[in-house]
Amino acid sequence: MATPRAAASESLRVLGVDPGLTRCGLGVVDVSRDRRATLVGVGVVGTSAEQPLDARLLVIANAIDEWLERYEPEVVAVERVFSQLNVSTVMGVAQASGVVIAAAARRGVPVALHTPSEVKAAVTGSGRADKQAVTRMVTKILRLDASPRPADAADALALALAHAWRGSAPGSPSAVGRTTAMTATAMTPAQRAWTEAESRARRKT
């Protein structure tokens, strides 16, 4: 059963998607104005390499439609495709990403693309963190009793968190007009590092 939506003025609901044909990670979080994050839903959609491509994409498309219907996110955060991966992997990720983006567009839900280094920096404070570090921080940030498995699920949640925190960081465009801001003492080390990095980047522009 889906978690009821909080009032739009109180929280932001983000669906994070770690795209892939074999495993497509899905994670939904609610992030309040003080940047406290709560898990809403997490899962992985899997398809077999033995299936035809059209059938695999249809499975992903149906799953995304179901999650958009069930959780009603305000934005979808998708990992940006990188070319240093092998060609077959890039093609699969790109195809899955296209299905996700199109599904969101049909519903008028905005889509944001984030690089892996952006996501790692947002949740761990380091753009070079490994998957284990990301999973540990996601587990801690969301106050979970157990780590999300497999890694694709944790990555999807990290994407959702990264987008919500970037959008709600003090001084960012979406934060203008908000009266509640998280103080430095209330932030996690990763949140403080991310906010400080954003401030430095703005000063350089």
Residues marked as catalytic? 18, 79, 152
Q: How far is CA 33 from its chain centroid?
A: 17
DSSP 32-61: ETT--EEEEEEEEEE--TTS-HHHHHHHHH
> Using CA atoms in the order 197, 201, 203, 205, what is the torsion angle rounded to 10 degrees?
180
> Using CA atoms in the order 146, 149, 155, 158, what is the torsion angle rounded to 10 degrees?
-20
